[in-house]
Structure 1
């Protein structure tokens, strides 16, 4: 009879394949059981401003893994994952360069400069970078200059024109809303805040 014949290696494969397939199925079943049995403390660190945004995701995580207990540490301090103090870190800024870390971009945070209606009524708005230092600014402190937009803007503002600084985004947003000066707000927050005006800074500088 003409056709193909199995080699010795092929005969071994045919004989062993059913057993290998069964072992893979058994292993898959065991791994699935392990995943469903995940338990213990999961320590997450993030910025204060991000904490409320995590609750829906945390609720979904606990629905899938009810034996998990979540410990959330909201802080401006960057806690090294290598220290073991936390398991997951959610931060704003450039991707970390440490090859031992697994980093994923979750979302983009769009920011721009805003001023309260009361500030605009008293001082107007800058129409070009040349007019920036004719205005009062509320700025994030130096430890936030790792964020590209914050860094670029800080280069253009004389220190004498910075009337208020904080290391918290929430403080800056509150200062802008109060009319203290021009400052950065996330577009999402600004869109839901009455009485603030956007400065078209994207057309003025390399944002």
Structure 2
């Protein structure tokens, strides 16, 4: 007889009867009426043209045919579970992956994320704090907050946040001992700390290095936070973002040496990958986040 097997449900029932040893125990296990379990076993045997169980007073005993089919039935069961898990994962929102330098994830910025998640509890975020430019088009990240002098890839969705301005800062302790330069041409006699990451260019290190001798740079850091700490400690003068230095400057912990040179200005951008922007939760987040984030830099 040609097999006409076509029901995954009957395989589930077959496995339950095989494992439990009777249609009554199987019915309790899978939540199905015992007569229905017995009938479906009969149907399955008819469809495959095999006797799968010997019926007796002690229940259903698997035949040799049933034992032969058991590994295949278990493989179907595993495949069905994998299918269900994959389908569930596809319906569950992926995290929105955001990259920026560590200092961008300030308490004020974190508060914006908290406000969004309060009204969108199903949306999750994955933060990648790094100065290295991750590949948006290649799928490394969904959103990037970047300060850059380069034109972004035309395919990226771009929101301009502000113009980032930089200049030289020093601590009061440094100023008390050495004074402060009053212009980019007044750097002789001073020592500097600089930000020079290993895996990417730094236009601000290059700007400084072009105007002083190598011996005037006493420390170079690959982490921006270490640079800021060194400047605050009075170890040397260093270039900082005006916005990031704002609190320390207002409190008198840092002193601005001279107005920000135009050639140090850079665009502060929010970049979104086109693929991520097709997701409704990403569009909803960027609509919420961008104006609130930009307001912090006015």
How far did 1:55 drift?
1.1
Using the alignment, how far apart are the partners of 1:163 and 1:157 within structure 2? 12
Map 1:63-78 → 2, pairs under 5 A: 63-78=118-133
Q: Secondary structure at the match of 1:49?
A: helix
What is residue 113 of structure 2 aligned with on the other side? 58
Q: Which runs of 5+ in 1 are unaligned?
A: 1-36
Which of the numbers 127, 136, 147 marks the counterpart of 2:191? 136
How far did 1:154 drift?
3.6
Using the alignment, how far apart are the partners of 1:157 and 1:63 within structure 2? 50
How far did 1:129 drift?
3.8
Note if contact 1:96-1:103 (Cα within 8 Å) is conserved in structure 2: no
Q: Render the CA deviation track for 1:71-95: whole Å, top value 9, x for unaligned.
A: 1111122110122121111111125
Q: For the structure 1 residues 150 and 189, does the alpha-carbon distance in structure 2 shift closer, same or farther, using more than 3 Å as the test?
A: farther
Q: Which runs of 5+ in 2 are unaligned?
A: 1-90, 265-298
Q: Secondary structure at the match of 1:78?
A: coil
Note if contact 1:95-1:103 (Cα within 8 Å) is conserved in structure 2: no
Aligned residues: 168
Which of the numbers 186, 195, 199 marks the counterpart of 2:241? 186
What is residue 145 of structure 1 aligned with on the other side? 202
Note if contact 2:181-2:258 (Cα within 8 Å) is conserved in structure 1: no
Q: Secondary structure at the match of 2:133?
A: coil
Using the alignment, how far apart are the partners of 1:106 and 1:130 within structure 2? 31
Q: Secondary structure at the match of 1:73?
A: strand
Using the alignment, how far apart are the partners of 1:117 and 1:55 within structure 2? 30
Using the alignment, how far apart are the partners of 2:145 and 2:251 within structure 1? 25
Note if contact 1:76-1:167 (Cα within 8 Å) is conserved in structure 2: no
Using the size of structure 2 for normalisation, the TM-score is: 0.50
What is residue 199 of structure 1 aligned with on the other side? 257
Using the alignment, how far apart are the partners of 1:54 and 1:197 within structure 2? 25
Check if 1:44 corresponds to 2:98.
Answer: yes
Q: Secondary structure at the match of 2:121?
A: coil
What is residue 142 of structure 2 aligned with on the other side? 87
Using the alignment, how far apart are the partners of 1:121 and 1:111 within structure 2? 23
